[in-house]
Amino acid sequence: DVKVTQSSRYLVKRTGEKVFLECVQDMDHENMFWYRQDPGLGLRLIYFSYDVKMKEKGDIPEGYSVSREKKERFSLILESASTNQTSMYLCASRFLRGGGRDYGYTFGSGTRLTVV
């Protein structure tokens, strides 16, 4: 089975800190995604990447950046953390070429970030 690993399950950071959230997948997936999930708002796409060194803005990229230097790793960076970035962050990956149900996502276990 595909495994998507997020480096931290829980994280507490101070306002203004630079925060790195790491995500690693082990099945050679081309596509990787970062979402945040808030009650009542569902999953909101922050950034995604369809290949190494490639990145695209999602629906809510402000205050975030990403890095994809290697195929298996997709990092989310909060340049200067703010309290409104307190959320659950979910990383996902997929193998698009499979088609059909194979282009569904496999999610990491999530990082619950609290900014104080």
Partner 1 sequence: GQNIDQPTEMTATEGAIVQINCTYQTSGFNGLFWYQQHAGEAPTFLSYNVLDGLEEKGRFSSFLSRSKGYSYLLLKELQMKDSASYLCAFGDSNYQLIWGAGTKLIIKP
The residues binding partner 1 (CB under 8 A) are 40-43, 45, 48, 90, 96, 100-101, 103-110, 112
Nearer to partner 1, 17 or 102 (CB): 102
Which of residues 15 and 114 has its CB atom nearest to partner 1 in the complex? 114
Cα-Cα end-to-end distance for the chain:
37
The backbone torsions φ and ψ at residue 69, rounded to the nearest 5 degrees and listed phi first, read -85, -25
Using the minimum distance from each CB to partner 1, give the nearer residue, 76 or 90.
Answer: 90
Report the alpha-carbon distance of residue 32 to residue 90 in Å, rounded: 11
Q: Smallest gap, in angstroms, from Cβ of residue 7 to partner 1?
A: 14
Phi, psi of 96 (to 5 degrees): -65, -35
Quote the least distance from Cβ 23 to partner 1, whole Å: 12
Q: How far is the CB of 51 from partner 1 (least distance, A)?
A: 14
Residue type, 93: S
- Of 25, 29, 35, which Cα lies nearest the Cα of 4? 25
Assess contact for 14 and 115: CB atoms under 8 A.
Answer: yes
Q: Which is nearer to partner 1, 41 or 116 (CB)?
A: 41
CB of 33 to partner 1, least distance (A): 9
